[in-house]
Amino acid sequence: MGAEERAARLATRSIKTTAKAEAIDLAIGMVDLTTLEGADTPGKVRAMCAKAVHPDPTDPEVPRVAAVCVYPDLVAEAVRAVEGSGVGVAAVATAFPSGRAPLEAKLADTRAAVAAGATEIDMVIDRGAFLAGDYMKVWDEIVATREACGDAHLKVIFETGELATYDNVRRASWLAMHAGADFIKTSTGKLSPAATLPVTLVMLEAVRDFRARTGRRVGVKPAGGIRTTKDAIKYLVLVNETAGPDWLDPAAFRLGASSLLNDLLMQRQKLRTGVYAGPDYFTLD
Amino acid sequence: MAQSDARLPVRKTYKLFIGGAFPRSESGRSYVVNDARGGFLANASQASRKDARDAVGAARKAFGGWSGRTPYNRGQILYRIAEMLEGRRGQFVEELRAAGAAKGAAGAEVDEAVDRWVWYAGWADKLAAVAGSANPVAGPFFNFSTPEPTGVVAIVAPDSPLLGLVSVVAPAIVSGNTCVVVASEPAPLPAITLAEVLATSDLPGGVVNVLTGRRAELAPWLASHMDVNALDLAGAPADLAGSLEEAAAGNLKRVLRPGPEAGIERMTALLETKTVWHPVGT
């Protein structure tokens, strides 16, 4: 109730100067730097990993990002590239982005990614089954994937743009958390609308209530469509005001993005040097 | 219903011109513009550094498309601007007179502004021939140089409210640059009316962005902006020009100091040269 109004109101908060500097560094540390294109090459993945480890090569003070996010077949390449840096490697598995494949194929996808060294698995739920009311099928798939993950963290993607209502988002959140998700994630980034503030608000309320009920902290990851520092800071305000400061931690909140990182770096440089930065002075994303 | 003889005046709100739209300043500020006798004329938007930043963003976004047009097409659009300006002749004469020009002088200034657009429009598809060259080299290569636009140009416009403005904007955009102009501070109104001309001339949004406000507040942000490639100091006051030039050195912007009002130098100053070595023979 009132999710849109509340998200809109929180989005008007003004975060400036030192608070902004801290928010930018926090946001950089929360980024899951993502490349999920059919045209991804090992070289592109290596370049992105280098950027993940040293986002701004001219400034060693810039924190590294939380993780890189790639397709399962490129996990091995990414693992080699980020080795020893502390950057995680997330793989989208389970027939990403549609989730339309037999369960065996989805599990094989997951196991292959984990075997290649992925520390995090981003799975998609079967939206068709969810919308048809077959919640048990969704549940079983999450549980099975959870098992296939082994030690890797499991993020469950809802593709909220396809779930139609906030009630469905809340329901899916609850289902995924009980089924063992470590993170719940808004979108694949392949569909518009992707992450929105109200949807993230609903999910943050769900993880807050879930911890009150069970004591377990589940993370939230909005992904797709977050391109500017201003957007990222809006999400951080939302996290702080909804789930609480405990979630202002890369272990509990991530931002799935690619072009966002350069904007964060440009804003960071603007604060540091006092002049507006230009994209020519940063690596491509 | 009571009838009143006097019709309520419908006055224009003078706003900024950014990315093809007419927004108010994000700061919400405005300042009073007076006529030559000191009487109230209108309120103009007082742009902030964030408006300047947005304008640079809009200019950068427009650069690819505008510089990618054929020179012929850019010439057509500049000519179209002249046509639209001609159609609004009366309005500009009124505004220039309000800003202090005598009736005859105002008319002559508008005529000259129209002619200046036409003059630069003609240059669009000739610039490459005049500013480019085929270079003799010792080797089996056809070596040639072509002019390329330098990018986003920040312009501090002179105080001549229409002709001065046209004289700095036209040579910047004819070659494919996009620009952010800080209009004359005491006489900004014709600049915004000119923006209405630009908005209806098939000129893509963002190619010209017009800011009104305090030059001393806006120009330093544009001069230091790392995504601006050149700076035209045509209307920068002497006490500001030095520090602007210094700030422009941060990313080695081309700096154009005040010079002749019109001429090919105004265009070539905002060009880069691309030289190609094309293999020939066996």
> Mind listing the pLDDT tens digit for each residue in B176-186?
999 999 999 99
Residue A284 has pLDDT above 80, yes or no: yes
What pLDDT does residue B221 have?
A: 97
> Mind listing the pLDDT tens digit for each residue in B73-122?
999 999 999 999 999 999 999 999 999 899 999 999 999 999 999 999 99
What pLDDT does residue A51 have?
A: 96
Token match 């309520």: residue? B8
Please give the average per-residue pLDDT across A224-247, as a whole number. Answer: 95
> Mind listing the pLDDT tens digit for each residue in A84-111?
999 999 999 999 999 999 999 999 999 9
What pLDDT does residue B74 have?
A: 98
Range of the domain at A254: 3-281
What pLDDT does residue B4 have?
A: 72
Query: Chain B partners of A281 at a C-beta cutoff of 8 Å?
Result: 226, 251
Measured between CA atoms, how close is A45 to chain B, in angstroms? Answer: 27
Query: Chain B partners of A275 at a C-beta cutoff of 8 Å?
Result: 221, 224-226, 247, 250
Dihedrals phi, psi of A184, to nearest 5 degrees: -115, 140
The single-letter DSSP state of residue A280 is G
Asked if residue B223 lies in contact with residue B253, where contact means CB atoms within 8 angstroms, the answer is yes
A36's tokens: 């999920």
Please give the average per-residue pLDDT across A203-213, as a whole number. Answer: 97
Is residue A122 part of the annotated active site? The answer reads yes
Residue type, B111: D
Give CA–CA dist B226/A279, Å, rounded: 8
| A126: CATH | 3.20.20.70
> Mind listing the pLDDT tens digit for each residue in A113-127?
999 999 999 999 999
Give the residue ranges of DSSP H helices in chain A.
3-10, 17-30, 42-53, 75-82, 103-115, 127-131, 135-149, 166-179, 197-214, 229-242, 260-273
Give CA–CA dist A264/A277, Å, rounded: 11
What are the extents of the domains in chain B?
42-279
3-state DSSP helix/strand/coil % of chain B, to nearest 5: 45, 20, 35
Please give the average per-residue pLDDT across B3-14, as a whole number. Answer: 86
Dihedrals phi, psi of A19, to nearest 5 degrees: -65, -40
> Mind listing the pLDDT tens digit for each residue in B22-63?
999 999 999 999 998 899 999 999 999 999 999 999 999 999
B42-279: CATH homologous superfamily? Aldehyde Dehydrogenase; Chain A, domain 1 (3.40.605.10)
What pLDDT does residue B3 have?
A: 67
Kindly state the percentage of chain B with pLDDT values over 90: 92
Token match 């001339």: residue? B201
What pLDDT does residue B210 have?
A: 98
A56's tokens: 């701004």
User: How many Cβ pairs closer than 8 A exist between chain A and B?
Assistant: 26
Please give the average per-residue pLDDT across A217-245, as a whole number. Answer: 95
> Mind listing the pLDDT tens digit for each residue in A31-55?
999 999 999 999 999 999 999 999 9
What pLDDT does residue B111 have?
A: 97
Helix (H, G, I), strand (E, B) or coil at A179: helix
Measured between CA atoms, how close is B127 to chain A, in angstroms? Answer: 27
Asked if residue A258 lies in contact with residue A33, where contact means CB atoms within 8 angstroms, the answer is yes
Strand order in the sheet with B271-279: B133-135, B141-149, B271-279
**Average pLDDT value over all residues in chain B:** 95
Asked if residue A159 lies in contact with residue A127, where contact means CB atoms within 8 angstroms, the answer is yes
> Mind listing the pLDDT tens digit for each residue in A154-187?
999 999 999 999 999 999 999 999 999 999 999 9
The single-letter DSSP state of residue A133 is T
Please tell me which residue of chain A has the smallest CA distance to B248: A275
Q: Which of A213, A227, A285, A214 is nearest to A256 (CA)?
A: A227
Using DSSP bridges, classify how beta strands A183-185 and A219-221 pair: parallel, antiparallel or unpaired: parallel
Give CA–CA dist B270/B254, Å, rounded: 7
Is residue A270 part of the annotated active site? The answer reads no
What count of other Cβ atoms lies within 10 Å of the Cβ of residue B17? 27
Q: How many CA atoms lie within 13 A of B118 on its CB side?
A: 11
Query: Chain B partners of A277 at a C-beta cutoff of 8 Å?
Result: 226-227
Dihedrals phi, psi of A274, to nearest 5 degrees: 85, 0
Q: Please tell me which residue in A221, A231, A263, A285 is annotated as part of the active site.
A: A221
Residue B1 has pLDDT above 70, yes or no: no
Measured between CA atoms, how close is A275 to chain B, in angstroms? Answer: 6
What pLDDT does residue B76 have?
A: 98
